[in-house]
Chains A and B, each alone.
Chain A
């Protein structure tokens, strides 16, 4: 699971509605898989990232080369570093833990598993209502 994907995931246990993003990473095993650098695509994706969540997550796994806030001027060096961290760094094994309810979502062979059992799962209708409030 790449960090870009982690930035899109939050806890969806029934009733877990605050402090459920980002999920905290534990016991991670990382691999680097190179992918072609595409600065236009990266720039178009930037506004969709939750930068604070991304930085705190990168810090958790020992990556501290990124600034706390997005710089005004974005140069190619910045983008290349970001590309490496966002798109080339894969979490192959580990777990994601909710800071609010402590539910653990496993990551195995690079794939996160967000499935919940019936008691834990929130109704889709409730998620829609929350999304509309944003």
Chain B
């Protein structure tokens, strides 16, 4: 088992501006680690993209699993503090990645159209009011998911279809409140993505899942 990336360069002051890794983050690391043979052998990624990288923990870990310099690791976050810390986390753990401050993938499409082999998204998933989704506070924006905690997730789903390469895989963290059955149904119905639960955990009152999506090859 690979240890969690070293985060000791991040101060409590920094955590006022960036989402501090928690159970959800660690579940994401577990899912990636469990899938590493599949990722290395079957996907053999050239381009990896993480939306909302926060501290950069997930992408740094992916970089450690794949080996530095073996793939292009791209991270986006709408919070400039987060992209700055993402880069520092990677450097702290001897990983090279590239961070871009942007909203979802604005500026990266259409260049990345059908080019992303591993796509990761730990979204704002907490059920809140719609207003909270557009909070001026970056920490709140990191977890406020609006109605059913789905407002940001639902904006991402069509982009997944644009981004994923033919054998690309999308890892998405959700909780029960987000109605994961409905997400999977929609991904199949609208984009013919197959899916499975890659990992799950009960964290306090929340049941967390990492959903994994990939294109149905036989339909192409």
Tell me which residues across on chain B come within 8 A of A36, comparing CB atoms.
68-69
Query: Does chain A have a CB within 8 A of B112?
Result: yes
Contact B101 A112 (CB under 8 A): yes
Interface range for B:
35 or more
Contact string against B for A residues 39-51, beta-carbon threshold 8 Å, 1 for contact and 0 otherwise? 0010011001010
Tell me which residues across on chain A come within 8 A of B44, comparing CB atoms.
44
Interface SS majority for chain B = loop
With contact pairs A45-B46, A48-B115 given, residues A131 and B110 touching in the complex (Cβ less than 8 Å): yes
Query: Does chain B have a CB within 8 A of A115?
Result: yes
8 Å CB interface, B89-120 against A = 96, 98-104, 106-113, 115
With contact pairs A12-B107, A45-B46, A111-B80 given, residues A4 and B72 touching in the complex (Cβ less than 8 Å): yes
List 22 A-B residue pairs with CB atoms under 8 Å apart, sorted by A's residue number: A9-B107, A9-B108, A21-B111, A38-B70, A41-B69, A87-B96, A111-B84, A111-B87, A111-B100, A111-B101, A112-B101, A114-B102, A114-B107, A114-B108, A121-B103, A124-B104, A124-B155, A127-B110, A127-B162, A128-B109, A131-B110, A131-B113
- Residues of chain A whose beta carbon lies under 8 Å from any beta carbon of chain B: 1-2, 4-5, 7-12, 21, 33, 35-38, 41, 44-45, 48, 50, 87, 105, 109-116, 121-122, 124-125, 127-128, 130-132, 134
